[in-house]
Amino acid sequence: MKRTQIIGWDSSGKFSGIFGFNRRFRRWHHRAIAPLIAAMVAVASGANVATLAAESLTFRLGPWQGSIAISDLEEYARTGELPGNLAPLGPFLPDGLQEVLAQRVEIDPDIGDRALDRLIKSPQGNRFIRAIFLLVPDSTIEQIKDAIKLVATEGNGLSLLGILKALPGDNIVFDATSAIGVASRLNLPYLEGQILRSRLESDLEVETEPFFASFDPALPGSQQVSQQTLTFRDRQRNRDIIAELYSGTNPQGPLAVLSQGLGSDRFLLNYLSQHLASHGITVVAIEHPDINEASVENLPVTLDPTNLIPASVFLELPKDISFVLDELTEMNRQPGSLAGKLNTAETVVIGHSLGGYAALAVAGGELNLDELRDFCSEGRKLGRSPADLLQCSATELSGNQITLRDRRIKQAVALNPNIGSLFGEKGLSEIEIPILLVAASDDAWAPAVTHQLRPFTQLEDPKYLLTAIGGTHFSVTDPDYPSLLERQTVLPDDPTREQTENLRQLLRGVTLAFVKQQTPEASTYAPFLSAAYAQSLGTEETALRLNETLPTRLARWLATSEAALGRLD
């Protein structure tokens, strides 16, 4: 009974809750594979290592058990064909068992002993090892640790089959009933993010000289901020859009438009809106009607994230931004308190999560639906993050290449954006304006590797990557206005808001400096778009980096891990 509770699945291998809103299932999509990385950490611990020994196993499924060669299990993982003596069990095997066995993640031998040591001692590492113990109940915890060390040092990637083969003894017991429970720990994109964390710590630029400046752009500006709520009626699309307007006493410079993420509202980045407005940057924060909290609360009950939102969302969000700019342009021309204060001709768009996708779309990113359909048609769901699955809703759109560019957008800031395969391999290269991309190493919703790091390599200069090592998907949002998804997915081992306050402080300063590059004050604020400034605000809990290009070793690792996932697919 206790073993089942460790992994959060029932004895049938089925989910015990609803996507995103049940504590057990939340552990799948939020902290799914930190344990796997932690287990890998044993590579550097120096303990005695098992020799590759196991060649056969006792395959157990409920009350049934029989002998099978590991080579036959490998063939099943590759082809889906069960060996003769297991063929009658096909209808009773847990859904996704083949995928669990086939999953493999690349292990960089240069990952670093310090990072591995830190992870192996974590509570997540202990939970993962004990989850593996459910699969091989006749083995010991120490044998499992030694097997993981051996597999990781072999250089062929870490896989469940590899661990089974590395266990000592001629025959081991494999409990297939528990296999899908272990899959809840094998979210490959997030696993990549955990490997990435150590890679970021070692590879991203580190400044040895202290950072000095005559002022702090993260401090509030001198202007008093006023707020008002605006409601726009789009008759053509039959939708009402609410927006919050933040303006200072002497607004000047570009206009900033903010786009929220799934399950949130227009106040999601309230702290950033207040900050920019206090420095004279007028901000309009849009609340998208089909992804706000009220809409998400009414979504259908489903285990499949691809059914959570309609395909039209991927068109409507960018169109909301352009429509609001149209309305504000008209307001700027008409008599009233806002006349002449809304510089829509020079707009910076700032978006979080799905709003980050929308920001990149109006910035000029070209959707590639054929490539997205290829990704989504693989049918693989285990091992993918929620954002990987959510994007597949867009496959129902017609056509292939779609451009939603708005030429009034002169800059874009994408915070933990859901990118994945939406723009294909080249769609982001169509963007011709400066981009600031924000990623977090512990983002389990939209993992950094697939949703920020690889997409960053597509972007043309000028571009900036702000990385929070230790941050999560929601670390950049306002602590006073948590989204529905954040409230439903927070876990005890997540960093506290106090531990990530330095990230929001950096975001205040860097975003302001980024926006100021459109103004005569560009050179004054340029020093704050530097690695030294970002590093100066880093802490032990949340290290901060700012890069304009990816270091060669990191770029090479990203390409290697992408190729490995391609072989898995």
pLDDT in tens, 201-239: 767 766 667 899 999 999 999 999 999 999 999 999 999
> What pLDDT does 153 receive?
66
Q: How confident is residue 342, by pLDDT bands cut at 50, 70 and 90?
A: very high
Q: How confident is residue 194, by pLDDT bands cut at 50, 70 and 90?
A: low
The 10 Å CB-count burial string (b at 16+, else e) for 113-132 is: eebbeebbebebbbbbbbbb
Where are the domains positioned within the chain?
Answer: 2-203, 226-550
pTM: 0.75
Q: How far apart are CA 329 and CA 481, in angstroms?
A: 29
Q: How confident is residue 35, by pLDDT bands cut at 50, 70 and 90?
A: very low
Average pLDDT over residues 22-27: 32
Spatial CB neighbours of 57, under 8 Å, sequence gap ≥ 6 = 67, 68, 70, 73, 164, 171, 172, 173, 174
Among 179-188, 216-225, 436-445, the minimum mean pLDDT is found in 179-188
State CA 325 to chain mean position distance. Answer: 29
Average pLDDT over residues 504-516: 98
Average pLDDT over residues 40-68: 57
How many residues are recorded in the chain?
569
> What percentage of the chain carries pLDDT values higher than 70?
75
Average pLDDT over residues 295-299: 78
Q: How confident is residue 98, by pLDDT bands cut at 50, 70 and 90?
A: confident
Average pLDDT over residues 497-515: 97
Q: What is the CA radius of gyration of the chain?
A: 25
Preceding peptide of 462 cis, ω within 30°: yes
- Does CATH place domain 226-550 in 3.90.1200.10? no
Q: How far apart are CA 292 and CA 262, in angstroms?
A: 6
Average pLDDT over residues 186-207: 61
The 10 Å CB-count burial string (b at 16+, else e) for 198-222 is: bbbbbbbeeeeeeeeeeeebbeebe
Q: How far apart are CA 279 and CA 282, in angstroms?
A: 9
- Reduce the DSSP state of residue 117 to 3 states and report it: helix
Q: What is the pLDDT of residues 456-480, one digit of tens each?
A: 999 999 999 999 998 999 999 999 9
